[in-house]
Chain A
Amino acid sequence: MSPLLQQLIDALKCLPGVGPKSAQRMAFHLLERDRSGAKHLADALIEAVDKIGHCKSCRTLSETDICGICESTSRDNSVLCVVETPADVLAIEHIAEYRGKYFVLMGHLSPLDGIGPDELGLDLLEQKLAAGDINELILATNPTVEGETTAHYISEMAAEHQVEATRIAHGVPLGGELEYIDAGTLAHAFSGRQRIRV
């Protein structure tokens, strides 16, 4: 195999879920059938990698210093939603119900992976809390051990600055059947039950 072709296949393997076989298929597809698409992909990749950094206000991925959501004047400045990844921001934006702003941790507290408060930019979040504009801090980290730990750590921080912290609910998914739900989720749903308002 030609060295350049091998180089392309090896490079494609850096994508998640792409092994040697798929990388080879992708390489042949781009070279045999879609050269203009390949050029476009290459340009888009270079441009994205060169220009996209982190928003200075919420840490999400952004090519401007301050991202669109942070800059928006129509959004509520007094509510801040803390999430783990930029993908979580997109998921919440999709439901189109939330009009506050975000703070993206780009991870969660995980001592065994060497990730502590400093690695998550929590000092930046603390500055925001200290500034006093925020009334409610919504903790939307994942319902995992690390996500819960992160939520607790941040809620302590919020309490120090007299900011109300709330945690998103978790339990039985819509359309789910109790019989098939794992014990952990069901126990959580049970302990978090709510009064029915009539």
Chain B
Amino acid sequence: MQVNAEPAYILHKRPYRETSQILEVFSRNHGRLSLMSRGSRSPRSRTSGILQPFRPLLLGWYGRGEMPNLRDVDTADARPPELRGKSLMSAMYLNELLVILLHRNDVHEALFTDYHETLSTLQQTTRLEVNLRNFEKNLLEHTGFGLNLVHDADSGEPVLSDRYYAYHFEHGPVCCQPGSCRQNPVISGSSLLAFDAGELETPGSIAEIKKLMRYVINSHLGGKKLKSRELFRSPLKTA
């Protein structure tokens, strides 16, 4: 099989032998896959500077089986997103999520576009939290774990903005009294509706939804800890 100029991002690199590396790649039309990149770690390599995560690339590869060989690489965009500090750490968090939650060779075209757009929004740190939450929501939706945010999972009634809901994993929000539920995160109806509409604004809602997404993602990981969360020494700004 031969693939030419496929839009892709590198999620992770692992050194292999002396001068080669194995690239974990998220591509638009072939999903997540591993590529063998021979010689790209040698001091004379011309590609080592562009074979970096968070750079939109055009990759060409050939070969069948588990790990095709990278043939050529080009940049897809002259100006890659400038990620520094908290933005860079957030971007690493996205990559860890993708590596853990995406199955190999499942094609997610819309998610690829979403990842591409999220990376460029991460350049500004002002709405970092909101952008991360929206990406998490879309990631779950595209991988078949979409969240129910608008219907009470027990009664089927629409979620009301003045009520409180305990969120149950793989079930959904269930109306409850605030303070009555200890195992599950309790979220206000208004926050659920705002998150569903992609209009998270108030610091209170952002904090609630963060609690919700942490609970849902941790449940998906089944005890595995996300290492990139340890990179944040101080909490992100919510505004």
Report if A145 contacts B (CB, 8 A). Answer: yes
Q: Which residues of A contact B54 (CB under 8 A)?
A: 145
Contact with B along A168-192 (1 / 0, CB 8 A): 0000000000001111110100000
Q: Which residues of A contact B197 (CB under 8 A)?
A: none
Interface residues in A, total, Cβ within 8 A: 27
> A17 vs B20: C-alpha distance in the bound complex, in angstroms?
11
Q: Is the CB of A117 within 8 A of B95?
A: no
> A113 vs B93: C-alpha distance in the bound complex, in angstroms?
13
Residue of B nearest to A16 (CB): B18
Report if B50 contacts A (CB, 8 A). Answer: yes
Q: Is the CB of B89 within 8 A of A149?
A: yes
Q: Is the CB of A144 within 8 A of B52?
A: yes
Q: Is the CB of B50 within 8 A of A183?
A: yes
Point out which of B24, B50, B95, B233 has the most chain A C-beta atoms below 10 A from its C-beta. Answer: B233
B:204-237 near A, CB below 8 Å: 226-228, 230-231, 233-234
Which stretch in A34-42, A81-89, A152-160 binds the other chain?
A: A152-160
Q: Is the CB of B55 within 8 A of A184?
A: yes
Q: Is the CB of B50 within 8 A of A182?
A: yes
- With contacts A111-B227, A117-B231, A157-B233 known, is A182 near B12, CB below 8 A? no
Contact with A along B31-71 (1 / 0, CB 8 A): 00000000000000011111011110000000000000000
A:133-164 near B, CB below 8 Å: 144-145, 148-149, 152-153, 156-157, 160
Kindly count the residue-residue contacts between A and B in the assembled complex, taking CB atoms under 8 Å apart.
Answer: 74
- With contacts A180-B46, A183-B78 known, is A111 near B92, CB below 8 A? yes
How far is the CB of B24 from the nearest CB of chain A, in Å?
8
How far is the CB of A175 from the nearest CB of chain B, in Å?
14
Q: Is the CB of B78 within 8 A of A114?
A: no
Residue of A nearest to B100 (CB): A112
Report if A11 contacts B (CB, 8 A). Answer: no
Q: Which residues of A contact B49 (CB under 8 A)?
A: 181-185
- With contacts A115-B227, A116-B227 known, is A148 near B50, CB below 8 A? no
> A149 vs B48: C-alpha distance in the bound complex, in angstroms?
18
> A183 vs B74: C-alpha distance in the bound complex, in angstroms?
10
Contact residue among B18, B79, B84, B231 (Cβ-Cβ distance under 8 Å from A17): B18
Interface residues in B, total, Cβ within 8 A: 35
Q: Which residues of B contact A116 (CB under 8 A)?
A: 227, 230-231
> A157 vs B232: C-alpha distance in the bound complex, in angstroms?
11
How far is the CB of A114 from the nearest CB of chain B, in Å?
6
Q: Is the CB of A156 within 8 A of B226?
A: no
Q: Is the CB of B52 within 8 A of A145?
A: yes
Q: Is the CB of B228 within 8 A of A111?
A: yes
Q: Which residues of B contact A111 (CB under 8 A)?
A: 92-93, 96, 226-228, 230-231
A:74-127 near B, CB below 8 Å: 109, 111-118
How far is the CB of A32 from the nearest CB of chain B, in Å?
27
How far is the CB of A166 from the nearest CB of chain B, in Å?
15
Q: Which residues of B contact A180 (CB under 8 A)?
A: 46
Q: Is the CB of A145 within 8 A of B53?
A: yes
Q: Is the CB of A187 within 8 A of B99?
A: no
Q: Which residues of B contact A152 (CB under 8 A)?
A: 84-85, 88-89
Q: Which residues of A contact B52 (CB under 8 A)?
A: 144-145, 184
Q: Which residues of B contact A145 (CB under 8 A)?
A: 52-54, 88, 92
Q: Which residues of A contact B85 (CB under 8 A)?
A: 152, 156
Residue of A nearest to B47 (CB): A182
B:70-121 near A, CB below 8 Å: 75, 78-80, 84-85, 88-89, 92-93, 95-96, 99
The 7 closest A-B pairs by CB, nearest first: A182-B49, A111-B227, A111-B228, A116-B230, A184-B49, A17-B18, A112-B12
A-B contact pairs, 10 of them (CB 8 A): A17-B17, A111-B96, A111-B227, A112-B99, A116-B227, A149-B89, A149-B231, A156-B233, A180-B46, A182-B46
